[in-house]
């Protein structure tokens, strides 16, 4: 455990990471949220739904009346997935969790089929799963990491969406998680930023091709949040440290303070 420039202590984990091992613990179960049945009887599949943004979305969906299936990568995340399912069931909804590596197209098709069986159908698809591993230079970025990042972050969105389409009726929704890095790039997340740019283009294209079917397509830009995906010291250190806020802090430091307080980032977009 190491301290950053603000004196806060943070944990570093190996991929894929665990919510329970994070300090401070993210506020990702949306405690205190009062639903109003906005998603009553809807059925949702959320990839990468065991923790972080995925868990928060799963929690909110359930509290708004939806049954939720989540997909996650490995047995290291079993505890996180179990906790997310507990939150869903605590809201009185059906929960299902599937351990799959969505870098494999067959696993993408399998998790859609399993979710349909578990929930009795599908109305909402949230493509949220992602992989990132910061590098110090382009030379450090291996061919294997490049392919892994694309297979998880963009290929899975294509395969999951395509497999889900036969189950989605008019009024169904497809949500894709993008990132500000897909718009402006990131010198230490070269492959990750490239995939998030691809997510933006894919979402715009899906919006055009699925319009006549009456389906909603949405892009969610991932603001800076504390998740097991982004708990490495390198991720924190290089994020926007060159930008300054009005109080003199770097934007990266301000974002870290904001996240620990349960807020949002990036700070340079939320200046006082």
> 3-class DSSP state for residue 153?
helix
pLDDT of residue 154: 98
Cis (ω within 30 of 0) for the bond into 91?
no
Task: Give residue 131's pLDDT.
Answer: 96
User: What per-residue confidence (pLDDT) applies to 30?
Assistant: 64
Residue-level pLDDT at 50: 94
Q: What pLDDT is recorded for position 36?
A: 85
What was the pLDDT predicted at 245?
Answer: 46
> What stretches of 73-215 adopt beta strand conformation (E)?
95-99, 124-127, 173-179
Contacts for 81 with CB less than 8 Å, ≥ 6 apart: 49, 50, 70, 72, 97, 99
Beta-sheet pairing, 173-179 with 9-10: unpaired
Give the model's pLDDT for residue 1: 44
Q: What is the pLDDT of residue 99?
A: 97
Give the pLDDT of residue 216.
Answer: 58
Distance CA 188, CA 178 (A): 17
Q: What is the pLDDT of residue 196?
A: 97
DSSP state of 25: P
Q: What residues are annotated to the active site?
A: 192
pLDDT at residue 12 in the model: 53
Let me know: does 55 contact 29? Beta carbons within 8 Å.
yes
What does the pLDDT profile of the chain (272 residues) look like in tens digits?
444 444 444 455 455 555 555 455 656 566 776 778 999 999 999 999 999 999 999 999 999 999 999 999 999 999 999 999 999 999 999 999 999 999 999 999 999 999 999 999 999 999 999 999 999 999 999 999 999 999 999 999 999 999 999 999 999 999 999 999 999 999 999 999 999 999 999 999 999 999 888 775 555 555 444 444 444 333 433 434 444 445 554 544 544 444 444 443 333 333 22
pLDDT at 31: 75
Extended strands (E) in the chain: 2-3, 9-10, 43-47, 67-72, 95-99, 124-127, 173-179, 216-222
| Cα 113 from Cα 61, distance rounded (Å) | 20
Phi then psi dihedrals of residue 83, to 5 deg: -65, -40
Report the sign of the C-alpha dihedral through residues 163, 165, 167, 171, in that order.
Answer: positive
What pLDDT was estimated at residue 198?
A: 98
The partner residues of 63 in beta bridges, in order of sequence, read none
Is 58 in contact with 82 (CB distance < 8 Å)? no
């Amino acid at each position: 455990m190491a301290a950053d420039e603000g004196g806060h202590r943070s944990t570093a984990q190996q991929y894929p990471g665990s919510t329970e091992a994070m300090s401070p613990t993210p506020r990702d179960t949306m405690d205190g949220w009062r639903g109003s049945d906005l998603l009553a009887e809807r059925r949702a599949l959320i990839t990468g739904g065991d923790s972080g943004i995925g868990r928060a979305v799963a929690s909110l969906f359930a509290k708004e009346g939806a049954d939720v299936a989540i997909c996650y990568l490995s047995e290291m995340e079993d505890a996180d997935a179990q906790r997310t399912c507990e939150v869903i069931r605590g809201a009185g909804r059906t929960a299902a969790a599937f351990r799959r590596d969505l870098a494999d197209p067959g696993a993408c098709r399998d998790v859609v089929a399993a979710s349909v069986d578990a929930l009795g159908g599908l109305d909402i698809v949230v493509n949220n799963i992602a992989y990132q591993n910061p590098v110090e230079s382009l030379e450090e970025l291996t061919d294997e990491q490049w392919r892994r990042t694309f297979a998880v972050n963009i290929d899975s969105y294509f395969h999951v969406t395509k497999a889900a389409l036969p189950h989605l009726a008019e009024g169904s929704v497809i949500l894709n998680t993008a990132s500000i890095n897909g718009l402006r790039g990131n010198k230490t997340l070269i492959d990750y930023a490239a995939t998030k740019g691809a997510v933006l283009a894919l979402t715009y294209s899906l919006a055009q091709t699925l319009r006549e079917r009456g389906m909603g397509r949405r892009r969610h830009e991932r603001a800076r949040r504390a998740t097991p995906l982004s708990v490495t010291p390198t991720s924190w250190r290089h994020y926007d440290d060159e930008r300054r806020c009005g109080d003199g802090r770097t934007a990266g430091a301000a974002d870290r303070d904001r996240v620990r307080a349960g807020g949002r980032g990036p700070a340079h977009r939320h200046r006082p």
